[in-house]
């Protein structure tokens, strides 16, 4: 099968090699660019827990002074994998969405514990920190990266992609979904996806692309990419 991956190369390289090893053709269309943002110095001594809703938040955080034994709440498997690779020992993982993550925090962390730090990108779709504040938590949010849409693609790559559209596309976030929809419209490909299966992380992500007609839409959590191949 022909598979299109859409995350930045750093986040896609493992899956590219995995799918290629299974005999699939893989194309890479990086829809987003990730940029680091400077943030104020943090006193980590007062923290009892840290919250990550993206692996990018971990990638751009200075971890030298953080006690890796504190509670580490992660939105999904990919984020947890990144956290564990950098030494966090006490990780608690949701099923790929912020609503589940909030429930896990409510179930596993008392409001009278030490403060929580929420590390995120500039643009978020759910105000998790404000929701937890209303629940009585002492929580601070820092922003350490921003997402920018990629509008420049290699012309030869685009020509080849249009000749041979993928059997499967993986979309991992609402940002990516908006960017992919813009790409489809800018390339005048709105009616060309009837033979393509769309794989989306979460219903909100898939809803953004509902105006395009797909062969079928599947929802998945991070880590289930290969498993989805056997459902087609």
What's the domain range around 206?
Answer: 2-31+150-229
The region of weakest confidence among 50-54, 93-97, 105-109, 199-203 is 93-97
* Mean pLDDT, rounded, for 27-41: 94
Please state the length of the chain.
Answer: 232
Same domain assignment for residues 71 and 112: yes
Query: Tokens 């680091």 map to which residue?
Result: 36
Q: How confident is the model at residue 41 (pLDDT cuts 50, 70, 90)?
A: confident
Distance CA 57, CA 83 (A): 10
Q: What CATH number is associated with residue 117?
A: 3.40.50.10090
pLDDT at 184: 97
* Residue 202 clears pLDDT 90, i.e. is over it: no
Instruction: Encode pLDDT of 152-192 as tens digits.
Output: 999 999 999 999 999 999 999 999 999 999 999 999 999 99
> pTM for the full model?
0.83
**Same domain, yes or no: 44 and 122:** yes
Angle at 170 between CA 143 and CA 72, to 5 degrees: 35
Q: Provide the domain count of the chain.
A: 2
Q: Are residues 15 and 39 part of one domain?
A: no
Listed range (42-46, 48-52, 185-189) with the worst mean pLDDT: 42-46
Task: Please check the confidence at residue 44 and state whether its pLDDT lies above 90.
Answer: no
Say which residue the tokens 């990516």 belong to: 176
202 in the same domain as 125: no
Is the CB of residue 73 less than 8 Å from the CB of residue 63?
A: no
Residue 68 is predicted with a pLDDT of 93
State which of 93, 128, 147 marks the end of a domain: 147
Amino acid 227: pLDDT = 87
Residue 96 has pLDDT above 80, yes or no: no
End position of a domain, from candidates 122, 147, 172: 147
pLDDT tens by residue, 57-88: 999 999 988 999 999 999 988 899 999 999 99
Where b means 16+ CB within 10 Å and e means fewer, 62-74 reads eeeebeeebbbbb
Same domain, 134 and 212: no
pLDDT, position 76: 86
DSSP H or E stretch at residue 198: strand 197-200
Q: Report how far residue 128's alpha carbon sits from residue 134's, in angstroms, rounded to the nearest whole number.
A: 10
């Amino acid at each position: 099968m022909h598979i299109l991956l859409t995350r930045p190369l750093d986040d896609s390289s493992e899956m590219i090699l995995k799918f290629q090893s299974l005999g699939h053709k893989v194309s890479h269309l990086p829809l987003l660019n990730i940029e680091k943002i400077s943030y104020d110095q943090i006193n980590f001594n007062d923290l009892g827990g840290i919250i990550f809703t993206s692996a990018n938040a971990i990638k751009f955080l200075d971890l030298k002074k953080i006690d890796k034994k504190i509670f580490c709440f992660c939105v999904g498997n990919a984020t947890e994998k990144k956290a564990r690779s950098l030494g966090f020992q006490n990780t608690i993982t949701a099923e790929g969405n912020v609503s589940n993550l909030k429930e896990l925090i409510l179930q596993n962390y008392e409001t009278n514990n030490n403060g929580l730090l929420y590390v995120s990108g500039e643009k978020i779709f759910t105000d998790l920190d404000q929701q937890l504040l209303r629940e009585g938590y002492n929580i601070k949010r820092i922003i350490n990266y921003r997402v920018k849409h990629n509008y420049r693609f290699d012309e030869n790559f685009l020509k080849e992609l249009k000749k041979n559209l993928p059997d499967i596309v993986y979309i991992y976030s609402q940002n990516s979904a908006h960017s992919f929809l813009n790409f489809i419209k800018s390339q005048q490909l709105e009616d060309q996806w009837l033979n393509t299966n769309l794989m989306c992380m979460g219903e909100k992500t898939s809803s953004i692309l509902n105006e395009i007609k797909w062969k079928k839409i599947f929802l998945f959590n991070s880590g289930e990419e290969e498993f989805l191949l056997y459902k087609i």
